[in-house]
Amino acid sequence: MKNIVIIGCGQGIGLAAAKLLSESNNVIGISRSQNPEIQNLNIEFHQMDILTGNFDDISFPDVIDGLVYAPGSINLKPFNRLTTDDFKNDFEINVLGAVKTIQKLLPNLKKSESASVVLFSSVAVKLGMPFHASISSSKSAIEGLTKSLAAEFSAHKIRVNAIAPSLTDTHLASQLLSTPEKRDASAKRHPLQRIGNAEEIAKTTEFLLSPQASWITGQIIGVDGGMGSIKL
C-alpha cells in the first residue's frame, strides 16, 4: 500500500482523486475546507490552509510515494481590471503553495523507490484565451516548475508531471456553468462537444501515480476534450 498526500482534497478534482486513490492506498488529505464527503472516506484528513498553515503540525509517513497538489483558482477578468494583487494571489495558490509543499515533503519522497508528483496546469497555457492573463501566468509557471523539477529529481527516481485540463464540472467552475445556456456554450467550444468531469481528471492522476506510468516524467498531459490540440 502506497502513501499518497493530496493537497486540496476538499472539493473538485482533489476530492475525486481522494475518493479514487483511497480505495487501495493510504491517503493523507489536506484542505482548507472540510467537505462532508471526506468523512465517509478512508483517509487521514487535516484541515489547513497550506499557504498560512504549518506542515510541522502534521505527522507525515516517513516514506511518501505520491504527492498531488490540486488547489487552483479561476480568476477571469479583462486585463485592465486585473490588479497586481490578483496576480499575486493566483501565483501564491497555484505555484508558491506547490513549492512549499514539495520542499517540505521532498525528503519523504526521496525515500520511496518510485515516487510521483502530480501538479495541475490549464489548457489556457497552450491555447491563448481572453481574460485568462492572471491564471494563465500562474499555470505557465507550473509547467516550467514541472519540467525543471522532473530534471532535477530524476536522479532520485522521482517523477514529476502536470495535468492540463480544460473547463471541468467542479465547484471552482460553478459560476461559469451556472445556467443551461452557459453549459451548452462551454460544451460546444470543445471538439468532443462536452465538459469534462473531476472523475476523468482523477483517473489520469491515478495513472500518473501508478507503476504503469513509471517511464513518464516532465510531461504536461492535456485532458481537455481536444481543445488544446484540435481545431474543427
pLDDT digits (tens, 9 = 90+) for 33-71: 888 888 889 999 999 999 999 999 999 999 999 999 999
Which pLDDT value is given to residue 195? 86
Q: Are 43 and 93 in contact (CB under 8 A)?
A: no
Q: Are 115 and 159 in contact (CB under 8 A)?
A: yes
What CATH architecture is 3-168+197-223?
A: 3-Layer(aba) Sandwich (3.40)
Which pLDDT value is given to residue 118? 98
C-alpha cell at 67: 504527492
Work out the pLDDT band at 167, boundaries 50, 70, 90: confident
Where are the domains positioned within the chain?
3-168+197-223
C-alpha cell at 121: 496546469
Of 63-77, 146-160, 169-183, the range with the lowest mean pLDDT is 169-183
Q: Are 93 and 73 in contact (CB under 8 A)?
A: yes
Of 16-30, 116-130, 157-171, the range with the lowest mean pLDDT is 157-171
Rounded Cα gap, residues 26 and 5, in angstroms: 9
Q: Which residues pair with 222 in a beta bridge?
A: 164
Residue 96 carries which DSSP code? I
